[in-house]
Amino acid sequence: MSLRIRCGGARRFLSCFALAAAAGLVSGPFTAKAACPAPATLGAAAVGQYGSIKGRVVWGGEGIPQIKVLEEKGKADKDPQVCAKDKPIFSRELVVDPATKGVSYAFAYIVRPRGENAGAVQQLLEKQPSVVLDQQNCEFLPYVLAMHEKQKLVVKSSDAGTNHNVHLNGFNNSSNQNVAAGTELKLDLVPEKLPIAINCDIHPWMKAYVMVFDHPFFATTAKDGSFEIKGVPAGKQNLVLWQETVGFVNKGAGRGMPVEVKADEATDVGEITLVPKK
């Protein structure tokens, strides 16, 4: 528990001491020093107040879905001299690893987190003040991108020989700008409750998702469907898993599934099954 007591003046002395004593922060003789301890002592954070949440998103359908080819090598409908010139462009709407049944490209995050972690935010911004969404082979890379509201989104175009159009389709984030080859676009985004779809109107198969948070408790799934959200305040939290073909994967939908986070431990929620829509 963190308690801050402000003391000042003789009239407030007794009430200040009473609050401090009730909290168990002072003992011994009744003195001004005992009654009004240093704020740093009262506000010190308890050791071991954060943990992590990990798990896996796995395919729950029959068989492993085949990945659709959007544009064949050398046969792109638009700008074939650049798009799919050396390799085909595949759909990433639903990618299931045959070996593990893990589902890639899903968002994992805490909704309405109980507690904060200012240190985690600071470390995130120091390590990565901006996140990059590149355009290569007429594809957005990465396909899903999670970011903090204080990070800047940098949209690059590494495709020489063609321009791209970056169209953000969010409720609170709406933008439609061209990005010429070899240039970049810097955007400040605000948090949204759902992922923001990003498209290129010039090359209609191009698509990606970015999700913006006002906290640092988020991750995306790896090839095997695994994820880990670190630095989560201990106690009761609600975990959400979102994947574009079904939306909310978890029970509780947008409200999240309850998770009890233990301090200094990794709380494993196990395998969360993605059931395909009928």
Q: Is the previous residue joined to 204 through a cis bond, with omega within 30 degrees of 0?
A: no
pLDDT tens for the chain, residues 1 to 278: 334 434 444 334 334 334 344 444 444 444 443 443 333 332 223 445 999 999 999 999 999 999 999 999 999 999 999 999 999 999 999 999 999 999 999 999 999 999 999 999 999 999 999 999 999 999 999 999 999 999 999 999 999 989 999 999 999 999 999 999 999 999 999 999 999 999 999 999 999 999 999 999 999 999 999 999 999 999 999 999 999 999 999 999 999 999 999 999 999 999 999 999 87
pLDDT of residue 48: 54
Model pTM? 0.82
Residue 146 has, within 13 A of its CA and on its CB side, a CA count of 23
pLDDT of residue 277: 86
Torsion of CA 213, 214, 219, 220, to 10 degrees: 0
Q: How many CB atoms lie within 10 A of CB 177?
A: 12
Whether 111 contacts 249, CB under 8 Å: no
Domains of the chain: 10-42 (no CATH), 50-274 (2.60.40.420)
pLDDT of residue 278: 73
Distance CA 163, CA 94 (A): 27
pLDDT of residue 117: 97
